[in-house]
Structure 1
Amino acid sequence: MTFDEIFPEVRELVDDLWRHPELGYREHRTSRAVEEFLTRHGEGLPIERFSTTGLKVDLPSSDPAHRRIAVVAELDAVISPAHPDADPETGAVHACGHHTQTGIALAAFAHLVSTGAWREASVDLSFVFVPAEEFVDLATRADMRDRGEITWFGGKPEAMMLGVFDDIDAAVCLHAIGGRLPEPTVEIDCGLAGFLYKTIEFEGSASHAGLDPFSGTNAYSMATLFTTALGLGRQQVREDVLVRMNPVIPSTDMTTNVIPHRARVGTDVRSSDLDYLTEIASRVDRAAHGCAAALGGTAHVTTEMGYLPLNQDRAMNGAFREAFEQDSHLTCLIDDRGAIAAAGDAGDLSFMMPTVQLSYGGFEGTIHGKDFALIDPETVLIAVPRLLVRGLLRMGEHLPEPPYRRSFAEYVEAVATIAPVPAGAHGKEKS
């Protein structure tokens, strides 16, 4: 089955996912659609289910000496309620392009199985569809964690803990590039930042805002002073390690006739340098406590681990560089522009094993923005899967030898140096 032949079915599935976006760990309809596709095209291959919605399928090994490579796609949508196609109840929309990741991976899977081309590969191949890459809807995930349904907010760390990648030697991830590009484009060797997530609860005391504001301590003023302090502090932040902070007030029950006794601020703290990330995080904590104390209140800071920086494996990307040179449709290769301040849990995977992220154009609008849309489905769902398969078939010659491998316990130890780890983080049985 050629990519042109499978295109109508893949396009229909991708369009359906666009119309029915789901948030992380709740991608039940999405997961069913993916499983049905894998069943139709998988010739009886067993499908492993993990976490709430994750799926994994292994193509048979053609050589016991082969390394096993996982193609990893993400199931979830982002929250961007300003987008006209966002779910009116949840604000979810695939302005991240994850629906196309799924389509690319499924097109590659169907082609490899129907043609038997997987037997020609110098590696063994698996396909893993993971939930919850976007670090959103955190209150729901906190409730799920309290109920014991998940441990990590990110889908890849959760899968890593569950042993989904225990038999995998290296990973190939996928991601969309936002913005209308002038020609069919793919990108390799682009690093990503890591981040922490801080929740600061400012606490003051309530009083009547008109009659007796003098007896109150305004928690909202503390939050305002804190966000101002973060802005002023940017002058003392290094420019070379992609530091970013985006403080938001996620919700409030304040009224105008009561001095607010509580205000909550959430912010990410990003950097491509883990040591500097720890330093910036401590500055954020100091600013929170200092701003609260300056106005007579207190601050309670909670830190949640986000994701580690993505360091792409240069050797593996050589397979995609060679595949690009053979492709007549894809005409632009963005090769090693350094790192960007976006983050993803592909970085956590790259801590454990050699990992790359193949990115691709074919869209217009700002990624995560209200105008993001797929405009070149033929490039995204025909040319990119074709490039992916060509790269996979020659990947064995481009793996580092031997591929490095760190354990999940080592991952937990690394995370613990910069943020608290969740209870039960050292692992549990697959489900």
Structure 2
Amino acid sequence: NSCARAKNIPAIKDASLKADRAFRAGAIATGCGMRLETMSGYMPTVPCSDVTAIKEALEDVAKDQYKIVYEGAECHGTASTDFGDVSCIMPLLQFSTGGYTGQLHNPDVRVTDEYLAYVVTAKVFALTAYKLLKNGGNYAKGLLDSYQAVMTKESYVEFMDSMNSVEEIPMAPLEIV
């Protein structure tokens, strides 16, 4: 199985084509044959330009107790999640909190600050929702107005389907001399 990740959609296509070509070349060169299943990877995150609601919520909840770092829209993270997929078709606000040690998605993750990990996080979610909806949803409307969708739902589904393929290269062992 193969799937590519990249910072933008053309780069995903390019990386996927190059990886598949390299796998094919290896199989053909060694004569071993291969079944290549290419699938769509996670899409890159489309950052929101208007993060007022979440920024205010973070400051209201945590600025007196914890350091708050804003990475901004220009930040390029190396992790991929379905967050990127959804952010291609609708605006999403993303934040992360601490309160744990270890590598995410690994057995060594340990909660070290339950208040930060659970309570502060829940408060930020709740206060962000409140700020988005108060005053007739002014912040939510601003978020929607400033967002530029990369894809429609239909073009997203079409793209994801276009990235899925299965190819069989038969074994062609080389003669041993």
- Structure-2-length-normalised TM-score: 0.75
Residue 300 of structure 1 pairs with residue 35 of structure 2: yes
Q: Distance in 2 between matches of 1:370 and 1:384?
A: 22
Q: 1:410 to 1:293 in 2, by over 3 A?
A: closer
2:125 to 388, 405, 411: 388
Q: Distance in 2 between matches of 1:414 and 1:389?
A: 34
Shift of 1:401: 4.5
Residue 341 of structure 1 pairs with residue 78 of structure 2: yes
Q: Distance in 2 between matches of 1:330 and 1:345?
A: 31
Residue 321 of structure 1 pairs with residue 55 of structure 2: yes
The question of whether the paired residues in 2 share the 8 Å contact of 1:311 and 1:350 is answered with yes
Asked which structure has the greater RCO (Cα within 8 Å, sep 6+), the reply is 2
Q: Distance in 1 between matches of 2:154 and 2:23?
A: 32
SS in 2 for 1:300: strand
Structure 1: unaligned runs, 5 residues or longer: 1-198, 200-266, 422-431
Residue 408 of structure 1 pairs with residue 143 of structure 2: no
Shift of 1:268: 4.2
2:11 to 270, 276, 288: 276
Q: Distance in 1 between matches of 2:65 and 2:76?
A: 23
Shift of 1:383: 1.7
SS in 2 for 1:326: helix
The question of whether the paired residues in 2 share the 8 Å contact of 1:364 and 1:375 is answered with yes
Partner of 1:45: none
The question of whether the paired residues in 2 share the 8 Å contact of 1:362 and 1:376 is answered with yes
Shift of 1:291: 1.2
The question of whether the paired residues in 1 share the 8 Å contact of 2:54 and 2:124 is answered with yes
- What RMSD over aligned residues (CA atoms) do the two structures have, in Å? 2.3
1:398 to 113, 134, 139: 139
Q: Distance in 2 between matches of 1:357 and 1:366?
A: 19
Shift of 1:376: 0.9
AA in 1 matched with 2:138: E
AA in 2 matched with 1:397: N
Structure 2: unaligned runs, 5 residues or longer: 166-177
Q: Distance in 2 between matches of 1:327 and 1:300?
A: 52
Give 1 or 2: higher helix fraction. 2
Shift of 1:296: 2.2
Shift of 1:310: 1.4
AA in 1 matched with 2:164: P
SS in 1 for 2:38: strand
The question of whether the paired residues in 2 share the 8 Å contact of 1:270 and 1:341 is answered with no
AA in 1 matched with 2:43: L
Q: Distance in 2 between matches of 1:333 and 1:284?
A: 39
AA in 1 matched with 2:12: L
2:97 to 360, 363, 375: 360
Q: How does 1:408-427 map to 2 (within 5 A)?
A: 408-417=153-162, 419-420=163-164
The question of whether the paired residues in 1 share the 8 Å contact of 2:5 and 2:44 is answered with no
Q: Percent identity?
A: 22
AA in 2 matched with 1:310: T
Question: Residue by residue, what CA displacement relative to the aligned partner does 1:258-281 show, whole Å, maximum 9, x if unpaired?
Answer: xxxxxxxxx543211221121121
Partner of 1:332: 67
Q: Distance in 2 between matches of 1:339 and 1:364?
A: 22
Matched positions, count: 154
Q: Distance in 2 between matches of 1:412 and 1:325?
A: 37
Q: Distance in 1 between matches of 2:158 and 2:120?
A: 40
Question: Residue by residue, what CA displacement relative to the aligned partner does 1:231-266 show, whole Å, maximum 9, x if unpaired?
Answer: xxxxxxxxxxxxxxxxxxxxxxxxxxxxxxxxxxxx
Partner of 1:371: 108
Give 1 or 2: higher strand fraction. 1
Q: Distance in 1 between matches of 2:44 and 2:77?
A: 10
Shift of 1:415: 2.4
1:291 to 21, 26, 38: 26
